[in-house]
Structure 1
């Protein structure tokens, strides 16, 4: 496996240099997770999933977000996880630098950089953000990522569309107009077109109604909170002008799509 050749291939597919390097790293790590003994203890989330599902290069991300399932988030457990990723021919993976604590907007976890090296000595480094999958009642989806160097792809667990929508909604409800996760709004619109209403209701119950940190107790209260947020013209202007906007639709269409998915849930509540 030649890292430089794989990067050149992704550049030819339309990725910029940094995104191409990240894509190669992500593909290799995903394949390593799928091959490793911990494949059922890891679920993939975030932008890597969205990019794959949308097949939209504009949704490319340089991060790889995962959650541990029934695994400790201790530094020792993370090092053990990385060691088990050394299961692919021609590639060596190891931790690069120190493990960092993450405390961002509505997210806690750890960040680690992973160095990949091929047999020719070519090296690239990728960032991996790790959290803990706490909603064990929510079934994860088995999903096969297309990867450049293996026709079989990488079959791993990922968050369902409904869970991703509910978790992004939870963050938006908590932060309101101070949220800077503008990309989430466009993700939520895309996901709103690809959710099952019954499954979404179950995820809302877990991620919102059963969460003691949340103020909303029913869909009417969720819709009221969203209405308050989306009535803020300055907030919508920031969302619409964000560099992370990856869907070419009017912001009003995006907002209505999100609300429509929740209205459908309200009808079966």
Structure 2
């Protein structure tokens, strides 16, 4: 049985990783209270005690707007902790799967981003995640891999889908940005993919992209959530499209951050699931209206 250490187990991805049934893997899932990935002594102690074959680094600073006023905190977790894990995993010959983001791109290309496309993050969050990628690839070149994803949601934790559900329960109309385009991703599907990578004997490519299939704007996703949950709610809520300029935020976001998954689909035998179907499955399995 292969031992897989999961950092950041208290977040939505860590929660979904623990819900995946993989009998050939033994998960040691540690939240921040059990393992602070910014503390070298803690990282070394846990790696030596658990002795994993694979580490999935799901620990991250993900507050995109707050990062603009807290750059030190964002870089500490997203860059420095990633570098620490990469260094210690390399020394122990442990494979490292490091989760990253579509925000390493600026969104100006107008076509899905390939893993090898140049990164050009727009804000502190994206820059800190890109710095973490670079650290992993430099410090653990033969056993570290980056898995970029986008627009994660789950029944656990804070995310856009749950925010919409809360707003729909309180309001008759909700305004949502319509000119930022990407791909919503159920964290459960990302968790399954990461565990499949962890179970493989061969090392994955240095950078892979994973999201659900299809393309959507935040407005499209909000409309889908409203339609899928209208029956349970018993009333319709109007979703109004607005431009990003009507909803200014501290951090600038990429206008088009769809990730190219062609290499992933060749590597992974499972059929891609369209984001709308993934959303439907998530809402059917985890009722929290």
Q: What TM-score do you get using the length of structure 2 for normalisation? A: 0.29
- RCO (CA 8 Å, sep 6+): is it higher in 1 or 2? 2
Q: What TM-score do you get using the length of structure 1 for normalisation? A: 0.30
